[in-house]
Structure 1
Amino acid sequence: MPGSTFQTNPIDLYRLLDECHRGAIQLPDFQRSWVWDEDRIKSLIASISRAFPVGAIMSLDTGGPVNFKPRPIEGTPPEAGRVQPQSLLLDGQQRLTSLYQVSIRGEVVETVTPKRKKVRRWFYIDIRKALDSSVDRELAIVAVPEDKIERSAFGHPTGLDLSTSHKEYAALMFPVTQVFDWDRWQDGFDHFWSGADHGATRELFRAFKRQVLENFKYYRVPVIALDRTTSKEAVCVVFEKVNTGGKPLDAFELVTAMFAASGHELRKDWYGGGAEKGRQRRLAEVLRLGDSEAGILAGVSNTDFLQAVSLFHTRDKRRAAEAEGREAPPVSGNRQALLDLPLDAYLKYQDQVEKGFVQAAKFLHLLHVYRIFDLPYQSQVVPLAAILADIGSAWEHDGNRRKLVQWYWCGVFGELYGSAAETRIARDFMEVPAWLSTGVEPTTVKDAIFRADRLKTMRMRISAAYKGVNALLMKEGARDFRSGQGFDHTVFFGENVDIHHIFPKKWCVANKILPSEYDSIINKTPLSYRTNRIIGGDAPSKYLGRLEKGTSDSPAINRRTLEHHVASHLLEPLLLYEDRYHDFMADRQRRLIGLIEDAMGKRVYGGPVIDEGEDIDVDDETGERQAVLLAL
């Protein structure tokens, strides 16, 4: 029946920490290790000592459909790991672990300084400062080294020595390890400060107990307890919403925890272990060329890989339902499909899918897409890899390869993989292989529309179509102005090829041409670093003249040969020699439209378009810099 799948109850802090100690509360294995620094721990202790709220925690009752491998709270005794937990902590790990470590665990705490140095600390409350309302409570919380003697940066003792109980009593420094059980410490304190002369000091501790320690004893933490019927997707969504200060939870972490419950180490598959390379590294090294750090697949994420596997699994389920006459579930690679992915399906398809990604890298190189930086859509790599994994060597046949290339460019120039691509990924996985055998065009090919005037607004690498034009020019035979070499992978990496202005920015600014015009892809083309240095900021007529005459490190080039190199970029050489910028822009736009039409296998749209809003002009250098950051 309808109703809430959770309860909200305040629970005593001590009870929660004791349940952590006994193993009744544990962590799902996807939770990261405890990492709070000593300043944050001090702040947490200070808040509890004043009975200030520190936020709710969230737990999930065990025994339901979400079967995560549990992991004890850090620092708990070995026995805690041998207990079947009653609940798993989804949010609040850092707070509960910190409080457990500094209090009832009773041992030195391993933490980090604000400078990220690993240290071992004991935590104390300065009784005098804690009772002084004019002192910030956080200043009353003190962390001391493992031997309980404070030292200067040069290692010399600074005066605070808490290495014995008597020294704690004398300094009026209360150990946080005793906040829930202070009687024995108080007995020692009273004995140390016995006598009529020290009555005020003994009373000071009693005030401290009433105003500070009892806040720990009676502190209650709001607990949102999800019952065991909560679905996997709900757990994922809830965790993302509440865990804003911790590690973002993705489907991979959840699937990792669920597979771990069956004894499989998914994280080891992906990240590797010891000398064994994980799948992440293997994919990153596929077709890694030159001195580049990684290949074209370095951006493939663990969820991308699981998404491709889930396409095969959900297709199997659909086919089985169709064979039995049942309602067929959709083929999907969305988050729910990943969360429902069983271990046996993952094991069945993992190797096949990995081979598909390797083939995808080869396919992209054939299209002259060599770097992640130049990859039009990372999201389109998933269906590409899944399709290639499905059809095997059939993609190497000329007719099939031509169709795959057309589908790929339709996705790029139709700008169809920019956002919310999950439905399209699944549809392409089903429709593209069928197209190779039946001739029925996939929806992506049908849907793709490229507007002729779009070329004028493509000014930065964050545009997939911008990257697509660059790759197409190289694929269709563009040659470097200076060397005359085509841009295969050897030249691309060896000559540091990138996309550069044809009419240089400096010349355009001097001739009062707006950035919105001269920064468009129409005025750009792939060139080597050395060639671009020769071009400089001069008019095309001047730099072409320099290329003809040659330089100290570049031989002269026959004009006819140079014109041939220039024309390979879909440029009319005469327009450059005569510096006819506006005629050049119109001519190049027409030629690029033809290039895109050939790639998509359809005419571009030249009619009127009504767009909501206005184009935002972004400085090209700023945009390129942002694109670089996005690519890293």
Structure 2
Amino acid sequence: MNELTIRQIIEKILNGQLRVPAFQRGFVWDSNRVAYLMDSIYKRYPFGSILLWRTKESLKYERRLGPFDLPPLEPDYPLDYILDGQQRITSIFGVFQTDLAQQEDEDWMQIYYDYTANPDAQESQFTALKPSEFDPQRHFLLRNLFDTTAYRRATRDLPDDVANKIDAMQAVFKEARVPVQLIETEDRATVAIVFERVNQKGVELDTLQLLSAWTWSEDFDLQRKFIDLADDLKPFGFEDVGQDTNLLMRCISAVLTRSVNVNDLIKLNGGEVRSRFDEIATGVKGAVDFLRMNLSVYSLQNLPSPNILIPLTVFFSHAPKGQLRYTAEQKHDILKWFWRVSFTRRYNSQPVASLQEDIGQIINLKNGKDHKLGDFPHEITVEYFTSQEFRINTIASKTLILMLANKKPLSFISGNEVSLAKVLKEYNRNEFHHIFPQKYLKEKATKYGSNTLANLTFLSRSDNNQISSRPPSQYRSLMPDQADEILSRAMIPSDFINDNYDEFVNKRALLLKGQAVLLMERGY
């Protein structure tokens, strides 16, 4: 591992050698964080290494270093892009350099050494101050340390003991070494993977975000396209799709390369993305429309797995001026696949491999070829509904909600149809309640917990308030004449009024299982 002194870091930035790629986030440290870094360097605490990528070819898009516009690269100097450690390098440069003017007013740049502070191992001896807060009887500006003239001017009138203390502090910073790891390669796929693993904790798809910085043209703003798509989807409750960069990147890759594998993402060509983005957007909108019209999915939140949108986008993608027609048989095949994916939590483990397989099969379906979409194990047991608890953001709970919505539920008290579009678009816990009230069950000895999936149904807050803590035998009288229809659509056994909770759970779980099997075998 190499090392750089603080002066060398400053010089490399000033000669244009150290640069920030556009795929890096901006400077986010606050002034206190910068002051603590100075304290760590001074006390010789470990503060991490920096990772540089040396390349012969400059990137088309770059970032400023914090508030500083970077100078052009001097001839014959190697080009090093910062992959990790940007916050530390920006802090060090901003604190000590005296050559570049700031493009923004950043108070954190004014970091001072408090030479009156107790040299405690825990407390910092460095602080960020506004010029008005500066006290010459206790503060020394770090920016003066590497400027000989400024340092001599700032220390010449100080008492000897203070000057000696500051000289010792200066020596520490002059001798400080920053560990540097350097990778030299022209293979951007390798750089992408390294950056991903260092900065993104292994989240594969952020790799494509940095690819966009390398290939997008100046007349194509991908983020603007995403914002426009979010605006188009907002009236339908799916604006979150346009804001989920990773999900959209997967959709783009799936349409263009038929793959969501990271290595294939790296190979994407910016020009192709630009020319076919409208086709991709059409696919997303078509997928959203299909989910709303056929499955009562009114927001990204109540979709069991966001990844379901990816194969659907592939199926519905087409040139905007064209028209995609699909048969009733294709529709039913997609519906069966949807329910099988949801009930089996198919995209929870090995999502890339499962998505890869489903993308290939849905393309075959789209092209009228033989396919095996949904041809994977999809058995379901009664225990699915008895052993799992209802938590609104779990896949099992979301799938249960959509299955109940598929039956077009009725209000328990008024008998009116539940407004699914409103309930599922807002998607909050207030529209789903217990058939056997929790307060009632609290005093009962039961095998099953009150929050088991089999005990949940569509029930508005107002209906739930009227039912309160009453058992079914008591609140049954509150239900209108079409109570049997209400119970049938909710898949509730009619003898639930005997108030035997454990028996009810078993019977309803059996009904729910039967409906789940039906959906997975025929789609509706």
- TM class, shorter-length: 0.7 to 0.9
Greater C-alpha Rg: 1
CA distance in 2, matches of 1:594, 1:27: 58
Partner residue in 2 for 1:571: 492
Change (3 A) 1:482 1:536: same
Answer yes or no: is 1:180 the counterpart of 2:146.
yes
Residues 174-183 or 534-543, more deviating: 174-183
Instruction: Specify the SS of the correspondent of 2:259.
Output: coil
Residues 422-431 or 486-495, more deviating: 486-495
Shift of 1:172: 6.2
**Residue 61 of structure 2, aligned match among 61, 66, 69:** 69
**Residue 222 of structure 2, aligned match among 260, 266, 274:** 266
Partner residue in 2 for 1:351: 278
Partner residue in 2 for 1:149: 132
Answer yes or no: is 1:588 the counterpart of 2:516.
no
CA distance in 1, matches of 2:290, 2:277: 20
**Residue identity opposite 1:519 in structure 2:** N
**Residue 19 of structure 1, aligned match among 7, 12, 22:** 12
Partner residue in 2 for 1:420: 350
Q: Say whether the 8 Å CA contact 2:113–2:140 is kept in structure 1.
A: yes
Residues 432-441 or 219-228, more deviating: 432-441
Alignment length (residue pairs):
515
CA distance in 1, matches of 2:522, 2:486: 28
Residues 502-511 or 48-57, more deviating: 48-57
**Residue identity opposite 1:509 in structure 2:** K
CA distance in 1, matches of 2:153, 2:409: 87
Q: Say whether the 8 Å CA contact 1:236–1:249 is kept in structure 2.
A: no
Change (3 A) 1:311 1:143: closer
Partner residue in 1 for 2:113: 125
**Residue 287 of structure 1, aligned match among 229, 236, 241:** 236
Deviations 1:301-343 (A, max 9, x none): 21221222212322xxxxxxxxxxxxxxxx4212222222111
Shift of 1:438: 5.0
CA distance in 2, matches of 1:177, 1:227: 33
**Residue identity opposite 1:30 in structure 2:** F
CA distance in 1, matches of 2:48, 2:423: 54
Q: Say whether the 8 Å CA contact 1:236–1:254 is kept in structure 2.
A: yes
CA distance in 1, matches of 2:287, 2:205: 28
Shift of 1:107: 7.7
Shift of 1:244: 7.5
Shift of 1:239: 2.8
Shift of 1:21: 2.2
Answer yes or no: is 1:386 the counterpart of 2:314.
yes
Instruction: Specify the SS of the correspondent of 1:590.
Output: helix
**Residue identity opposite 1:309 in structure 2:** I
Answer yes or no: is 1:470 the counterpart of 2:401.
yes
Shift of 1:463: 3.9
**Residue identity opposite 2:11 in structure 1:** D
Change (3 A) 1:39 1:542: same
Unmatched 5+ stretches in structure 2: none
Change (3 A) 1:266 1:602: closer
Q: What TM-score do the two structures reach when normalised by structure 2?
A: 0.87
Partner residue in 1 for 2:246: 303
Q: Say whether the 8 Å CA contact 1:26–1:85 is kept in structure 2.
A: no
**Residue identity opposite 1:279 in structure 2:** L
Partner residue in 1 for 2:461: 529
Shift of 1:442: 1.8
Deviations 1:501-548 (A, max 9, x none): 1122222232211444x422222211222212222121111111133x
Q: Say whether the 8 Å CA contact 2:298–2:425 is kept in structure 1.
A: no
Deviations 1:206-238 (A, max 9, x none): 4532x2212222322111111023542x33443
Change (3 A) 1:230 1:53: farther
Identity across matched positions, percent:
22
Answer yes or no: is 1:205 the counterpart of 2:166.
no
Deviations 1:275-295 (A, max 9, x none): xxx334434x1513xxxxxx3
Change (3 A) 1:244 1:183: farther
CA RMSD of aligned residues (A): 3.4
Deviations 1:380-436 (A, max 9, x none): 111122222259855653222112111111111122122321122222122124236
CA distance in 1, matches of 2:424, 2:341: 26
Alignment of 1:539-554 (within 5 A): 539-547=471-479
Change (3 A) 1:49 1:494: closer
CA distance in 2, matches of 1:455, 1:103: 63
CA distance in 1, matches of 2:491, 2:442: 24
**Residue 287 of structure 2, aligned match among 360, 366, 386:** 360
**Residue 481 of structure 1, aligned match among 412, 425, 428:** 412
Answer yes or no: is 1:458 the counterpart of 2:392.
no
Change (3 A) 1:372 1:438: closer
CA distance in 2, matches of 1:52, 1:493: 53
Change (3 A) 1:310 1:242: closer
Deviations 1:583-632 (A, max 9, x none): 433332232222112111179xxxxxxxxxxxxxxxxxxxxxxxxxxxxx
Instruction: Specify the SS of the correspondent of 2:382.
Output: coil
CA distance in 2, matches of 1:355, 1:70: 31
Change (3 A) 1:578 1:243: closer
CA distance in 1, matches of 2:144, 2:200: 32
Answer yes or no: is 1:375 the counterpart of 2:280.
no
Deviations 1:112-154 (A, max 9, x none): 9xxxxx746622224455xx7x555965324331xx332xxxx
CA distance in 2, matches of 1:296, 1:406: 26
Instruction: Specify the SS of the correspondent of 2:143.
Output: helix
Instruction: Specify the SS of the correspondent of 1:61.
Output: strand
Answer yes or no: is 1:597 the counterpart of 2:517.
yes
**Residue 505 of structure 1, aligned match among 392, 416, 438:** 438
Answer yes or no: is 1:404 the counterpart of 2:334.
yes
Answer yes or no: is 1:448 the counterpart of 2:378.
yes
Change (3 A) 1:585 1:206: closer
